[in-house]
Amino acid sequence: MGVTASLATLSAGALPAELSQPKPEKVEIYSFSKLFQFLNYNELAAMFKESGLDGIDLTVRKGGHVEPENVETDLPKAVNAAQKNGITLPSIVTDISDADDPLTLRVIRTASENGVKFYRMAYYRYDYQKSMPDNLESFRTRMEKLAELNAKFNISGGYQNHNGSNFGGNSWEIWEVIKNMDKKWIGCFFDIYHGVVEGLQSWPNAMRVIAPYVTQRYIKDFYLSATEKNARVVVCELGNGMVNFNQYFRICKELNMNQPFCLHVEYELFNKDEEKNLSHAEKYKKALMIMKRDTETLKSMI
């Protein structure tokens, strides 16, 4: 049978399995604006758009792209710049930790009014004068009050697992506190980099336990710089470090995870000489190259 005849005999119900499978839904990719605060809102949006990103995860915190005290005037400007450049601003990084803080209401209300879907919370510190269970109960109470406020404004708060001695160094801690909450209002921004740093061998277990509560997936890479006496964690170009992304994406697929990715480019953009001598345009060009490279790497992994 010729090729034409073969094609003619195929019907919608007789397509080969590999052709009849629906294409997977597109997963959105945002990126963290922390290292790009030398750019104004329009430059930031233009760079992220040219890099192939879908959105911005904007710092709205002390020293960030938007100072919390100026959120009502400055956040709409950033959102407008994103829209003009054809991308979104769905997520912000904040200092929010308590519903009773007057700034919390202002940031959440303004973010919601401007179409922001997510905000990252600040980190909670353990009080070692209290027992660990008492600490967790205190964090739970604070998060429950935030969840109530989030529901009122239809926005989702997220707590990032972050290596170190603060609450949430291990995802199991976060799970213990939020396991009975509605992830629509309080979830976890699971960071695979910090997950691997804290649990070099056991991170898949931590990922699996927190997976039902994950609302964003943070992506970055690292290596260890070791001496005879100690080792330090060094953030590096995506795909060049210790994170086993093949295993990570297999687990994502196994657990049917389709949350947005937030790419964190947090390694040095410019050395000391470049920081001092490069023009603004030259810094923009180099930062764009780095962002585009890591974005393309992440897309190839996906």
What are the tens digits of pLDDT across the range 6-21? 444 434 444 444 444 5
Q: What percent of the chain has pLDDT over 90?
A: 86
Q: What percent of the chain has pLDDT over 70?
A: 92
What gap in Å lies between CA 85 and CA 48, rounded to an integer?
A: 9
What gap in Å lies between CA 223 and CA 236, rounded to an integer?
A: 7
- Answer for the pair 199, 206: CB distance below 8 angstroms, yes or no: yes
Confidence bin at 204 (pLDDT 50/70/90): very high
Confidence bin at 226 (pLDDT 50/70/90): confident
- Answer for the pair 222, 234: CB distance below 8 angstroms, yes or no: yes
pLDDT at site 185: 98
pLDDT at site 142: 97
**Answer CATH for 26-301 from 3.20.20.150, 3.40.50.720, 3.30.70.260, 1.20.1260.10:** 3.20.20.150
Q: How many helices (H) and strands (E) does the chain have?
A: 12, 10
pLDDT tens, 22-59? 555 689 999 999 999 999 999 999 999 999 999 999 99
pLDDT at site 230: 84
DSSP codes joined into one string, 227-279 = -SS-EEEEEESTTSSS--HHHHHHHHHHTT--PPEEE---S-SS-HHHHHHS-
Sign of CA dihedral 108, 114, 118, 124: negative
What gap in Å lies between CA 13 and CA 16, rounded to an integer?
A: 9
pLDDT tens, 255-279? 999 999 999 999 999 999 999 999 9
